[in-house]
Amino acid sequence: MVHRVMAIDPGLTRCGIAVVDADTSRKVRLVDVRIVRTPTEHEIGERLAALEAAIIEAIKERRPNSVAIEQVFSQHNIRTVIGTAQAAGVAALVAHRSGLPISFHTPSEVKAAVTGSGTAAKAQVASMVGRIVGQPVVGPADATDAIALAICHAWRWPALQLQRAPKVVAS
């Protein structure tokens, strides 16, 4: 069975969206990757609405089975954290309204899944992502990060399903 994952690397200025198909043997095929950009001179509501429209469009076009969103983590720049959190909130809301299960993964969890080390450098993540999908990934780090997130989620999907399954109690 093939599981189609949409992954969102949230950002207000640049938001990475990737879609992969993964089978039970952990083979991954890159279906789509795109970067959504919103101009910094636009009003926040307009930027969030543009992000919402782009995610809705990607879901309609690619029809994923689940959505993974990178967990917002503390950064030194509070403006960046706020914008990232707002973008993640929009992504979660769109996925929820689309009836898709949502999972959040931390950057270190994604790095560990793809490279074996939760502290891997961006270049190492990009290299492994290219090897996993069988092609070099071009574009900004947001694209690579979104693909890595999709791979992480696809590989963890079976375990996540077991965790979410209703518990059966013997009587």
Active site residues: 9, 70, 142
Q: Are 166 and 36 in contact (CB under 8 A)?
A: no
Q: Which residues contact 160 (CB under 8 A, 6 or more apart)?
A: 103, 153
SS3 64: coil
CA distance 80 to 9: 13
**Total residue length of the chain:** 171
SS3 74: coil
